[in-house]
Every structure is written in C-alpha cells, then in structure tokens.
Amino acid sequence: MNNYQFKVVKIQDNFVWHKHDQTDEVFIIIDGEVRIDFRDGSVTLKKNEMFVIPKGVEHKPYSESESKIILIEPEGVVNTGDNDGAMTAESDVWI
C-alpha cells in the first residue's frame, strides 16, 4: 500500500540491537508476547497490541516463545536496520 509493506514475521529469542534512521516501524502482535528493549527501558506487547518505534530509536525485540507479528514499514527496509549481519534477511522476499 503506497510503497509500504505489511510483513508477517515469526520471532523467538533475542534479535540484534538496531535502528532505522529513515522511517518509523510499526509492530502489531498477532500471537504471543514480545518485549522490545530500548537503551533506557522496555515495552512488553501482547496479542492484538500495537506499538510504533520512532525513526532513529535503537531497539531490540525479544520473545521467549515463538510470536507472530505484523511489521508495517516502507518497502526495502532491512530487518536489521543499521546492524548488517547474520540475522539480516533478504529484503522483499515473497513466500
């Protein structure tokens, strides 16, 4: 929609610290519970909750057990933002 993508993802365990300098990132929890850590605290989200991470804010998602999430972000946004590494997924892959 208008060059935005709605990405359905599964997460479990720790992710990497990262930020997106050019865009906000929206998390909508479909199933499970996700904690998003920030350098100065954290927020815990449960099923049917939504949270917007402002652009430029460093964060690290975590889920103790498998959780399903919808991410809303502009097309081409890399999942690990400014932290390219082993957890970086290929962008714009349709399954």
The distance from CA 62 to its chain's CA centroid, rounded to whole angstroms, is 10
Percent of the chain with pLDDT strictly greater than 90: 64
pLDDT at 76: 76
Tell me the pLDDT of the chain averaged across its residues: 88
The DSSP symbol for 85 reads S
pLDDT greater at residue 59 or residue 78: 59
pLDDT at 77: 72
Mean pLDDT of 41-67: 97
pLDDT band at 42 (very low <50, low <70, confident <90, very high): very high
> Hey, what amino acid is at 56?
G
